[in-house]
Amino acid sequence: MLWVISEGYAPGRIAVPRPTVAICRTCPRDTAKPSARGENPDGMAAELRSALLADRHLGGGIDVMMVQCLGACRRPCAAALSAPGKWRLRFEDLSPRILPDFIAATRAYEATLDGRLGDRDLLPSLRERLGALAPPPASPRRAS
Ligand code: FES
Among residues 92, 94, 130, the alpha carbon closest in space to that of 109 is found at: 130
Q: pLDDT for 97-128, tens place per residue? A: 999 999 999 999 999 999 999 988 999 999 99
* CA angle at 27 for the pair 25 and 112, rounded to the nearest 5°: 65
> CA 30, CA 53: separation in Å to the nearest integer?
28
Taking the complete model, does pTM exceed 0.85, yes or no? no
Domain ranges of the chain: 20-28+38-131
Is 80 exceeded by the pLDDT of residue 6? no
pLDDT digits (tens, 9 = 90+) for 17-53: 789 999 999 887 666 565 655 666 668 899 999 999 9
CA nearest 86: which of 2, 17, 15, 21?
17
- Would the pLDDT of 90 be above 60? yes
Give me the pLDDT at residue 32, please. Answer: 57
Q: Report how far ligand 1's centroid is from the alpha carbon of 85 (Å).
A: 25
Of the candidate CATH numbers 1.10.10, 3.40.1350, 3.30.930, 3.40.30, the domain formed by 20-28+38-131 belongs to 3.40.30
66 lines ligand 1 (CB under 6 A): no
67 lines ligand 1 (CB under 6 A): no
Count CA within 13 A, CB hemisphere, residue 99. Answer: 18
Closest CA to 93 of 79, 107, 109: 79
Number of the ligand 1 atom closest to the C-alpha atom of 30:
1
Angle of helix 44-54 relative to helix 99-111, nearest 10 degrees, comes to 50
The residue-averaged pLDDT of 63-71 equals 93
- Is the beta carbon of 48 within 6 A of some atom in ligand 1? no
pLDDT over 70 at 16, yes or no = no
Element (H, E) at 13: strand 12-14
pLDDT category, 2, cuts 50, 70, 90? Answer: very low
What does the pLDDT average to over 43-67? 89
Q: Which atom of ligand 1 is nearest to the CA of 77?
A: 2
Coil, strand, or helix at residue 104?
helix
R_g over Cα of the chain:
17
Could you tell which of 25, 27, 66, 74 is best to mutate to test the pocket of ligand 1, judged by most ligand atoms within 8 Å of the CB?
A: 27
